[in-house]
Amino acid sequence: KAGVTQTPRYLIKTRGQQVTLSCSPISGHRSVSWYQQTPGQGLQFLFEYFSETQRNKGNFPGRFSGRQFSNSRSEMNVSTLELGDSALYLCASSLDSLVYEQYFGPGTRLTVT
């Protein structure tokens, strides 16, 4: 079974621009969660989608948003990029939102200059 895929793997953007990252979950998984990883803050939860509905959200500003499509693929968007948004963005998929284990993708490395 194919794993979680994320595109692009690397991205360089300029302050003020916006960016869209994509995540394709494992086939049959309906829950997709997004995380941000930085050296200073570690791994932090952004939000989770299940059956196209956002069911949980972390403590991030409204510049961070996401959506999920009917095929469970998910995108996250960051508008008005700031230098501090430079990070590894990880998505994880799961059979459901609660108990089942999450499987992570390789991440998208975003650099904001």
60 binds other proteins (CB under 8 A): no
Distance CA 73, CA 64 (A): 17
How many chain residues are in contact with other proteins, going by CB under 8 A?
30
Bridge pairing between strands 87-94 and 103-104: antiparallel
Strands 53-57 and 42-50: antiparallel
Shortest separation between residue 66's beta carbon and other proteins, angstroms: 11
CA atoms of 112 and 10, how far apart (whole Å): 11
Strand, coil or helix: 89: strand
**Contact between 66 and other proteins (CB under 8 A)?**
no
Least distance from C-beta 111 to other proteins, angstroms? 14
**Range in contact with other proteins (rule: CB under 8 A) among 12-20, 44-52, 62-70, 77-85:** 44-52
* Residue 99 binds to other proteins (criterion: CB under 8 A): yes
- CA atoms of 66 and 77, how far apart (whole Å): 6
Q: Rank residues 16 and 99 by Cβ distance to other proteins and give the closer one.
A: 99
Q: Which of 29, 64, 105, 112 binds other proteins (CB under 8 A)?
A: 105
